Amino acid sequence: MSKNKSAIVTGSTSGIGLGMAEAFAKSGMNVMLNGFGSPDEIEAIRRRLADQYGVKIGYHGADMTKPEEIGALVKAAEEQFGAVDVAVSNAGIQFVAPVEEFPADKWDAIIAINLSSAFHLIRHALPGMKARGWGRIINLASAHGLVASPFKSAYVAAKHGMIGLTKSVALETAEHGITANAICPGYVLTPLVEKQIPDQAKARGISEEAVKRDVILGVQPTKQFVTTEQIGALAVFLCGDEAASITGAALPIDGGWTAQ
């Protein structure tokens, strides 16, 4: 049922966002990619998805710290595809440090990219969804939207905030054929996680190996990383009409982490 729909996925040049963009394209959706990276690599991704799945794939380089660029991203997708039916806020960054040493500029950047950008994407995409009487808003929160870990004050605050935003939007849109849900993954081996391993080792005074074994997979009862394909499949399901009654939910996909 997602065939012929059009989606924006922020932060889809890498990791989970790219996994969702590919799953959407495979299900027949047009996708507007977004995120940073080398222009050649991004163009190669855009072309591969378009050729492989026979859908329209665009790219817009909006910086998620800049509200006016987020507005331009929605406008570009509406012009290119005729509609934005699915708005996925996925772009995110991480920084790990004890709260009293946490740099204020890192706090501001994490709140802007991991939380406020979702507000801006939603407020620009919603009028079109309401006019058409159909829409899907998906916010990539995290297990850290449900539970905390030390040294991630900004990230945990942003992800908890994202779940609150999701619930409010779900209530406001419930009678418009629109759903809003948060996906809460456990650890996925993407550049965002790989980059924090040395910082975690430093903050905790342990080896990088111990970070992977005890800190990262230690919290996940399955002892397995979640995969981008698994998250992509959940996102596609949420876009179907079978998922019309799932709204305002924070859905863990975390190998049992938050069951503990």
Q: Which residues are catalytic?
A: 155
Beta carbon of residue 62, minimum distance to ligand NAD (angstroms, whole number): 6
Residues 123-152, interacting with ligand NAD (CB under 6 A): 140, 142
**Per-position b or e across 202-224, b if 16+ CB within 10 A of its CB:** ebeeeeeeebbeebbbebbeeee
Interface mask (CB under 6 A) for ligand NAD, residues 202-241, using x and -? ----------------------------------------
Give the position of tokens 């009654």.
Answer: 245
Report the residue number, 12 or 179, with the smaller CB distance to ligand NAD: 12
Report the residue number, 8 or 134, with the smaller CB distance to ligand NAD: 8
Confirm or reject binding of residue 187 to ligand NAD (CB under 6 A): yes
Confirm or reject binding of residue 54 to ligand NAD (CB under 6 A): no
Instruction: Report the C-alpha gap between 85 and 198 in whole angstroms.
Output: 39
The one-character DSSP state at 226 is B
Report the residue number, 15 or 134, with the smaller CB distance to ligand NAD: 15
Choose one: 1-9, 34-42, 164-172, 234-242; the region binding ligand NAD (CB under 6 A): 34-42
Tell me whether residue 135 is exposed, middle or buried, using C-beta atoms within 10 angstroms of its C-beta: 0 to 12, 13 to 18, 19 or more.
Answer: buried
170 alpha carbon, distance to own chain's centre: 17
- Contact between 84 and 8 under an 8 Å Cβ cutoff? The reply is yes
Confirm or reject binding of residue 11 to ligand NAD (CB under 6 A): yes
Interface mask (CB under 6 A) for ligand NAD, residues 88-127, using x and -? --xxxx-------------------xx-------------
For residue 112, what are the CA distances in angstroms to 5, 108, 115, 120, 222? 28, 6, 6, 10, 32
Helices (H) and strands (E) in the chain, counts: 9, 7
Beta carbon of residue 113, minimum distance to ligand NAD (angstroms, whole number): 5
Beta carbon of residue 187, minimum distance to ligand NAD (angstroms, whole number): 4
Beta carbon of residue 73, minimum distance to ligand NAD (angstroms, whole number): 9
Instruction: Report the C-alpha gap between 130 and 176 in whole angstroms.
Output: 6
Look up residue 234 and give its amino acid.
Answer: L
Interface with ligand NAD (CB under 6 A): 10-17, 34-37, 63-65, 90-93, 113-114, 140, 142, 185, 187-188, 190-193
